[in-house]
Structure 1
């Protein structure tokens, strides 16, 4: 499979011989070189922005899997104005376009590099947002503590229902414990 991302993805697919593309539909195509000779035939899928992994226009070209034919398709796409992505660039684009948070983008790299089932499962959980949700919960807990402390300082003379010092300390200790567990889990993979 060959994946194109960016504003010219559909135009490049059309120049290869893809028919008029409908979003998220599989289209049979005879993919051709500059002389019109068939390189390969296969399936073309189009995902218009922002409804794609990267948040950009994305086209997937699915051929027979021959390395020789794939290299010919890559060369033809480059001749039409594409370039090969850097390692991790699709995840980077997804992050920059708000499709992934940083923990999820890093989880993709971890998933690709996973050397065993345990590492793959941990990366999958991070990609699913488990790690991010745990971080968000600690942040929310700290923000609530801050609100109570600021209210107690700003309105010291008012009869407000704020947390006492012992409750604030317990909340901070809980946040410290939660962060230590997050760090431990992140180091384990």
Structure 2
């Protein structure tokens, strides 16, 4: 394969993914066919299936890109202020990622049931972000930004709750879509969730963000 052919193939693959992501979000995952995606990407169904034999492969590629981008933004735990700022920013990134790929989070349960590869990737990602938040909480506790009268077990529960809400907030059966109650955005809920754990020092830093 020549360099030019490789570039064309890479560009076609990127265009297919981009159009798949757009159509899944706009039309709903179950309402979009591979042929719809091929037409939107300006390519043939044969070319599309060469890169992505099934819709599952498209979702897995979108999911992998989403997770890689999100984890790339994490920095190693350093001083308390940087850890705290990075954690708060992660809540905003979570919200942005879910809006960008709303179809995935609306249908996450069904997608995991249909694909063991997607389910395994979701599980691995959740483990990583659970460890990230737990280590962040314990680091901030040592820095007296989070309260010392809270046990490690309680911080484990807090980390679990953050991960659970992050994964299920937009799922199509949740209260997020209930118009009879005020809608709260995910990043706001996550910030409010950790607020009672802050020390006076932590509250002062929190208000400065």
Q: TM-score, normalised by structure 2?
A: 0.27
Q: TM-score, normalised by structure 1?
A: 0.29
Structure number with higher helix proportion: 2
Q: Which has the larger radius of gyration?
A: 1
The structure whose RCO (Cα within 8 Å, separation 6+) is larger is 2
More strand by share: 1
